[in-house]
Amino acid sequence: MKLLKLVPDDTNIKFLKYRVPFYVISVLLIIASWALVLTNGLNYGVDFAGGQEVRATFTESAEAPVAEVREVVGDLGYGEPVVQRFGEPNQVSIRVRLPDEVADDKEAAQRIANEVVAALQSDFPDFRLDGNDNVSGKVSGEFFTQAQWALLFAMLAIALYIWIRFEWQFGVGALFALFHDVSLTLGMFAILQLEFNLTTIAAILAIIGYSLNDTIVVYDRIRENLKKFRKMPIPELLDLSVNETLARTVMTSLTLLVALLPLLLFGPAALFGLTSAIFLGIFVGTYSSVYMAAPILIWLGVDSHSFVPEETELDKQEKAARGLA
């Protein structure tokens, strides 16, 4: 069977020729994304905004019918509930977000909890209420803050790792590419008002991992070519490196998109935010590894001497002894 090649072996696309316009567009998109986050805000799920929690046991079932419970509670119109098993397999925790106008009204919150319980008792004869509580918005806020710090430290740790493995310019380039990807993902959630919850944090971490992997592949090739082609101008060398890794990048991205597309179109509503975030992240992660992470190396001063070891005093003495100094 003939091998499928989406990108010919002798590809020579001048990516770096348009680096300035693409950088301007990307910076404007980053600014627009953060402006949307600050003005529109994010549609926080119950994980971060607080809400009402109902704990229950399905006494006649070996396992709790999580998907059916999620559908029944979701039909009540209080947004996408968080339904999780805890303790025994037939026990679940159901959390619904309270409308803003009743967030501080305990009686209204209790009425909503009673509505949830009544709906579940109607659809599941073996439903047994174990208790219900109000999830404090303060606790959820602390949870959100911890998630932000986790993301920030993850990005900084990644940048430090690349700095040590390559040069500091590569660490800065990777960090900027990751910031670009995360910003555009947050912008999508702000403009579409998709629910922002713990699964979204997981999606962002997945995007960071994918983007980083793609960036390191390109950086590895740049480092190899810097040692191999010492006299080649940097823009040409970067173009060469991106073109040499393009087949791998395109094939990886396409296979991931093909795998995600059915889940995006026909998957459960609870996973839509996660899937759409990763779907967008593959696009922006691929783009940023080519147009963000690589061109910035020119402006940060990477050249053919970046990976040449500094000459020590002993080296100088040996060269002088051999008449090469």
What CATH code is carried by the domain that includes residue 58? 3.30.70.3400
Please list, in sequence order, all residues whose beta carbon lies within 8 angstroms of the beta carbon of residue 111, skipping any fewer than 6 positions away. none
Would the pLDDT of 317 be above 70?
Answer: no
Q: Which tokens in the block code for residue 204?
A: 């962002």
Q: For residue 268, give the CATH number of its domain.
A: 1.20.1640.10
User: Over the stretch 220-236, which tens digit does the pLDDT of each residue have?
Assistant: 898 888 888 878 888 88
| Contacts of 26 by beta carbon, 8 Å cutoff, 6+ apart | 180, 288, 291, 292
The domain tally of the chain equals 2
Helices (H) and strands (E) in the chain, counts: 11, 6
CB atoms within 10 A of CB 51: 27
Q: Are residues 183 and 75 in the same domain?
A: no
Name which residue leads in pLDDT, 56 or 104: 56
Range of the domain at 219: 15-41+140-300
Residue 193 maps to a domain = yes
Domain end position, chosen among 104, 135, 166: 135
User: Do 125 and 229 sit in the same domain of this protein?
Assistant: no
The reported pLDDT for the residue numbered 60 is 86
Which region, left, alpha or beta, applies to residue 207 given φ > 0 means left and ψ of -120 to 50 means alpha? alpha
Alpha-carbon dihedral of residues 273, 278, 279, 284, nearest 10 degrees?
130
70 with 25, same domain: the answer is: no
Same domain membership, residue 219 and residue 125 = no
Letter for the amino acid at 194? L
Query: What's residue 53's pLDDT?
Result: 80
CB atoms within 10 A of CB 52: 26
> Is residue 5 a part of any domain in this protein?
no
Q: What are phi and psi of 8, to 5 degrees?
A: -60, 155
The confidence score (pLDDT) of residue 250 equals 86
Mark whether 26 and 124 lie in a shared domain.
Answer: no
pTM of the model: 0.74
Q: Is position 305 within any domain?
A: no
